[in-house]
Chain A
């Protein structure tokens, strides 16, 4: 009998424990909970974390995220208004703000993601095809570009693609997409926190064309550099020739001037000295030149009446 009693005691304790565990549930900091009774939501969604009570077995706990969640779209091929085929990849942040509505309208995350896909893609498509590519790439009109510093920096694209003006810009367009897509969200108990264009690029075929353009522009730049090099070289060598001529002729001129001055001075010195007795100078200098002139191997014919030989003929008295 005592044994039976013990068994019954254990059984009752077990059932009680089960009831208790079915009656309590905890809500985490990142969760919100909707209690449903036979599929029907009961009371307000529980967004505060902590230990809570419900009717065991009859009421069911439906847990949903309270945190910001991620949505990542598939890349979409969309032509822009200026007929450029690009693919656009967007990303969004969203959260459940009304868990009860979320449960009633969508129920599962899969449904929610499908809804986000539809909504954001449609809005994105509208905005991309309504704007030229440059609006989606650039944010402002002030685009820092490279200053062309002579002989240093290369920026071949500046001339090729003149900066088009941006009317809205990427930031404003994404803001508009967010605002537009957000309109549908309250109906699902959701809130779009942020929508951003993650990636934009040309589709494969267009990208090839762009690459070809980039290549040809670079080649043009290379040719420009080469001819600039040749030009600069010719310029330097030309300058050199000019300077050489100037140096040589300048030196000639200076040398001649020095010589001239020396000649003048010598002449002046001679003149002053010889002016003292021009007759004697004539005699003296003539004799000097005789001495310096070459008489080697010469035939000298002199008369006996010459002053030098006159004594050969007569003895002076």
Chain B
């Protein structure tokens, strides 16, 4: 956990001191004649020690809180700083810019990679909650926060991270508990927003110095044993839509087709009408023309028309019998139903 790094106690780096002392002892035994050497060495060692214990750095994004004999005496920004050594000044560094994430209902297997996570009994207890209509829902969420005020963060609450976790669980359950199952399923955004507001409010009341950057519901699903039935509802809904779509499709196919056919029927009638009227007009025009001529020479025209008609009719007839008007008892001779091939009749 990054916590320990950030908070890691008094900054007293004393590396290699035992080695330095050993070296000093070695040189002592070496040259008894050179009496000046070892006071010099002691001074050097003391100087190094002083430097080690009084110089410290605050990394970018961090803030240092200085306690002098336990009492707050100031805050330092990133950079190189001095302090009074030997336990008089202690510096606590807090990473104020870093955004940390806490997960609920699942564990991030590899930090930063959200897709890999596992679920066990403990995280399940964390994520199962009751909705307002007394159903069980499985809600996983994350919280992102910053340690905005290092002084408050260090001085006011013993275990701020666990406080965040406890309060967030309580707040989320309260919000989910006041909404229906389906409402929670469909309105994550609202729950996110309310959860963040409420969590921040309570953390401010405790004066934790923590700024909640984000509360985000991840998976909001029905509990495992109910999932199948939920999918069934989805499938049924799909099927419903499919049936409706199919019917709609048939409708959309049939209606225009029939409309086209209807149009054709009507156009056919229009064509008929046009033809009928045109024919009538044509017939009448012809008749009128003939009538005009007829008016000029009635008998002759009548005769001509009569003869023309015969001219048209007779060539197409199979047989023509011309019988004298005085002839009687003709029918027995003719045998009208007789085969055509026989005899001397005129063609």
On A, residues with C-beta under 8 Å from B are 26-31, 48-51, 65, 67-70, 72, 75, 91, 93, 133-134, 137-140, 143-146, 151, 153-158, 160-161, 163, 170-171, 193-194, 196-202, 207-208, 210-211, 214-216, 218-219, 221-226, 228-230, 232-237, 239-240, 243-244, 247-248, 250-252, 254-259, 261-263, 265-267, 269-270, 272-274, 276-277, 280-281, 283-284, 287, 290-291, 294-305, 307-309, 312-313
Contact = CB atoms under 8 A, between A and B. Distances in A.
Interface of B: 67, 69-72, 125-126, 128-136, 154-159, 162-163, 166-167, 169-170, 173-174, 177-183, 186-187, 202, 206, 222-223, 225-226, 228-230, 232-233, 235-237, 239-244, 246-248, 250-251, 254-255, 258-259, 261-263, 265-266, 268-270, 272-274, 276-277, 279-281, 283-284, 287-288, 290-291, 294, 302, 305-310, 312-314, 316-325, 336
B174 A221 contact: no
Contacts of A27: 70-71
A254 B263 CA distance: 10
Contact of B239 (A193, A226, A262): A226
Contact of B182 (A153, A170, A290): A153
B319 A299 contact: yes
A154 B281 CA distance: 70
A301 B242 CA distance: 77
A137 B137 CA distance: 13
Which 5 pairs, one residue from A and one from B, show the smallest C-beta to C-beta distance?
A262-B273, A251-B262, A229-B240, A255-B269, A266-B280
Given A296-B317, A302-B322, A251 B266 contact: yes
A254 B266 contact: yes
A93 B206 contact: yes
21 contacts: A29-B154, A139-B174, A145-B133, A146-B186, A154-B237, A200-B130, A214-B226, A221-B236, A225-B237, A226-B239, A233-B244, A240-B254, A243-B255, A255-B265, A255-B266, A262-B277, A267-B280, A280-B291, A287-B306, A295-B314, A300-B317
From A202, A274, A299, residue with most partner B Cβ within 10 Å: A299
Contacts of B71: 26-27, 29, 48-51
A207 B136 contact: yes
B244 to A, nearest CB: 5
Contacts of A267: 280
A156 B226 CA distance: 13
B158 A68 contact: yes
Contacts of A301: 320-323
B29 to A, nearest CB: 20
Contacts of B280: 265-267, 269-270
B236 A225 contact: yes
Contact of B136 (A72, A202, A230): A202
Nearest to A140: B178
A138 B67 contact: no
Given A196-B167, A201-B128, A215-B225, A67 B156 contact: yes
From B154, B241, B276, B284, residue with most partner A Cβ within 10 Å: B276
Contact of A199 (B173, B259, B265): B173
A193 B312 CA distance: 125
Contacts of A170: 174, 177-178
A299 B243 CA distance: 70
B166 A72 contact: yes
A153 B185 CA distance: 11
Contact of A134 (B134, B179, B306): B134
